[in-house]
Amino acid sequence: MTHLVLFDCDGTLVDSAAVIHACMERAFAEAGLALPDLAATKSVIGLTLNLAIAQMLGREVDPAIDTLAERYKHHFHAMRGEADFSEPLFPGIAGLIAGLAKRDDILVGMVTGKSRRGVQAVFSTHGFGETFLVVRTAEDCPSKPHPAMVLECCAFAGVDPASTFVVGDAIYDMQMARSAGARAIGVGWGYHDAEALMSSGAERVLRDPAELIPLLLA
């Protein structure tokens, strides 16, 4: 049986919280808003950007929120060009992706609140883009936890949601997986804690990336 594995990106594959938070601080400061704390930023990573900012401010999405989102993007792209920019893989992720790439019975995709430009930058930096058969981003589908990202990836790959694993660090990933009829697998090295992931529908929370392939083959 062929399985489809759909990874979240930020907090699951790459440790980008510091960069995301710095961009939030720059955008908020520019708008004259109180700077968010790191915990607030981490809590919304995974949502589409305008929804994430709106949630941080306790407001609905409006033109001012959209402007903040655009300024965030400006700062993110500017930071990417800075000498000390870093969006590293979590330990063990490179080996996991390499192991999945060797298997004919496992297809790999990505479901992320990142932009396509951001995804391509991650692929370019870390060199594993060819492993990913299908990608759905914030530009392609409604924000998590809506199931569209998962369902579109399943349709593209020709794999039933019941044979699909969504691997992510956020409650939104778990909720999205369950809504799509896919299996929800949390990771313990990201930005939401294990208890929150289990409460949101995770059937298991991985402690190490090496635990994933045996789980897929069980």
pLDDT per residue as tens digits for the range 144-163: 999 999 999 999 999 999 99
Task: Give the angle subtended at the CA of 169 by the CAs of 21 and 126, to the nearest 5°.
Answer: 70
CATH architecture assigned to 3-15+88-217: 3-Layer(aba) Sandwich (3.40)
Query: Does residue 110 contact residue 116 with C-beta atoms inside 8 Å?
Result: no
Q: Is the pLDDT of residue 168 over 90?
A: yes
Burial of 42 from C-beta contacts in 10 A (0-12 / 13-18 / 19+):
buried
Q: What is the pLDDT of residue 81?
A: 82
User: On the CB side of 164, how many CA atoms lie within 13 Å of its CA?
Assistant: 32
Report d(CA 104, CA 147) in Å as an integer: 26
pLDDT per residue as tens digits for the range 74-103: 999 898 888 788 899 999 999 999 999 999
Q: In the chain, pLDDT over 70 holds for what percent of residues?
A: 100
CATH 3.40.50.1000 boundaries in the chain:
3-15+88-217
Domain covering 17-80, topology: DNA polymerase; domain 1 (1.10.150)
Question: What predicted TM-score, i.e. pTM, was given to this entire model?
Answer: 0.94
Q: Where are the beta strands (DSSP E) in 44-154?
A: 106-111, 132-136
CATH 1.10.150 boundaries in the chain:
17-80
